């Protein structure tokens, strides 16, 4: 029993650390801190936060404002509950406030850095081996000025969990969004920075060299409005991925046109990955689009345009729900995400 309790305590602390590195909202961090402390943010938990939650969460990138906010909220809550705030936390918070006042550059940054750690779905003990994949991301902190393409959305987390849950679908396949595309230049710049953060930056220009490389990740400009069949002919993907791309009725016809071109291929058929009759069976190119239905009218517009273009769009989110690789991300609502499997109608 003691061993099980110690393992549970270690798991709660691990979740707290990973949530901090992922940039979870302060309310979520405090909730996990309380859980790790058995109902309150104990001196032990405060010490853990000081030792593990620093400003260098992604390759030395600094999120000082975020850290300062977390420490301020913790101090306020502990003081209000008449519990003990350790001296080291007071000292660290005061130091950060002084540093923030002196360094005006910290107030001008519009990007924050996150580490999203996907945990193994099966494990026997709590250790670093629990973490199966880590994605290091530069994200926008200023979506109000139209920087949505540089933000982290629930659909991309859901799609990531789906890929990790069904590796047999993606193994050895040409996946279009490992050819990373966007029509916005600032988002493309951010994509390239994220590729560098994750050591997947590729600089091969020659297509033959690229085919031979084990690191087959590209970043390319693609405008749905301007894309032609000749632009897309060289890709011939087995799988097309998209997250939160059904959001604007003006863009829907262009998106459907691009999907139709990418999924239209006669020379190469996909392989069956699962038993006959399964919704994940592949017979030719397929698109998996994760989306949150924020506006029913826009979603219905997409569904009609897809049907008119002879595309079959089926929501498989419930029947093929992915494993929970992100148990520590309290702000992530899986229930809001639909997963569409899109193929050419036969």
190, pLDDT greater than 90 = no
CA distance 176 to 229: 15
Average of pLDDT values for 239-254? 92
Helix H or strand E encompassing 242: strand 239-243
More confident residue, 332 or 267: 332
Average of pLDDT values for 135-163? 76
Tell me the pLDDT band of 345, cut-offs 50, 70 and 90.
Answer: confident
Average of pLDDT values for 249-273? 76
Output the pLDDT for position 267: 42
Output the pLDDT for position 150: 63
Average of pLDDT values for 169-177? 79
More confident residue, 117 or 207: 117
The string of pLDDT tens digits covering residues 19-38 is 999 999 999 999 999 999 99
Q: Where are the domains of the chain?
A: 2-111, 154-183+222-344
Torsions phi, psi for 102 (to 5 deg): -80, -30
Count of beta carbons in the 10 Å neighbourhood of residue 73? 16
Average of pLDDT values for 91-97? 88
CATH of 154-183+222-344, one of 2.30.30, 3.40.50, 3.30.40, 3.30.1330: 3.40.50
Max avg pLDDT among 51-55, 121-125, 310-314: 310-314
The answer to which of 112-121, 212-221, 275-284, 322-331 has the lowest mean pLDDT is 275-284
More confident residue, 137 or 100: 137
Q: What percent of the chain has pLDDT over 90?
A: 45
What pTM was estimated for this model as a whole? 0.84
CA distance 311 to 237: 16
Output the pLDDT for position 196: 84
Question: Using alpha carbons only, how large is the chain's radius of gyration in Å?
Answer: 23
- DSSP 8-state code for residue 55: S
Burial of 255 (0-12, 13-18, 19+ CB in 10 A): buried
Average of pLDDT values for 86-94? 93
Tell me the pLDDT band of 329, cut-offs 50, 70 and 90.
Answer: very high
Runs of H (alpha helix) within 140-251:
154-165, 167-170, 185-197, 207-212, 229-232
């Amino acid at each position: 029993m003691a061993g099980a309790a110690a393992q549970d305590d270690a798991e709660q602390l691990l979740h707290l650390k990973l949530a901090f590195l992922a940039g979870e909202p302060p309310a979520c961090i405090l909730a996990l801190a309380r859980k790790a402390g058995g109902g309150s943010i104990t001196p032990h938990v405060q010490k853990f936060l000081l030792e593990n939650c620093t400003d260098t969460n992604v390759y030395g990138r600094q999120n000082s404002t975020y850290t300062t906010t977390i420490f301020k909220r913790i101090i306020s809550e502990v003081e209000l509950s008449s519990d003990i705030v350790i001296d080291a936390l007071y000292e660290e918070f005061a130091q950060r406030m002084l540093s923030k006042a002196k360094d005006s550059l910290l107030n001008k940054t519009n990007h924050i850095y996150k580490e999203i750690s996907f945990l193994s779905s099966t494990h026997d003990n709590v250790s670093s081996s629990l973490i199966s994949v880590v994605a290091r991301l530069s994200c926008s902190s200023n979506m109000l000025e139209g920087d949505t393409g540089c933000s982290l959305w629930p659909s991309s987390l859901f799609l990531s969990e789906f890929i990790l849950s069904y590796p047999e679908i993606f193994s050895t396949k040409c996946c279009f969004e490992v050819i990373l595309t966007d029509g916005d230049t600032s988002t493309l710049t951010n994509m390239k920075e994220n590729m560098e953060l994750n050591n997947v930056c590729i600089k091969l220009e020659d297509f033959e060299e690229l085919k031979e490389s084990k690191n087959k990740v590209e970043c390319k400009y693609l405008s749905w409005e301007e894309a032609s069949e000749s632009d897309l002919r060289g890709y011939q993907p087995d799988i097309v991925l998209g997250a939160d791309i059904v959001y604007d009725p003006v863009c829907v016809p262009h998106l459907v046109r691009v999907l139709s071109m990418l999924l239209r291929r006669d020379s190469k058929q996909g392989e069956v990955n699962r038993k006959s009759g399964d919704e994940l069976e592949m017979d030719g190119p397929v698109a998996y689009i994760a989306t949150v239905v924020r506006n029913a009218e826009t979603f219905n517009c997409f569904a009609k345009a897809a049907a008119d273009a002879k595309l079959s769009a089926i929501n498989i989110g419930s029947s093929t729900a992915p494993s929970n690789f992100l148990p520590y991300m309290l702000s992530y609502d899986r229930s809001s995400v639909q997963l569409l499997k899109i193929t050419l109608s036969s």
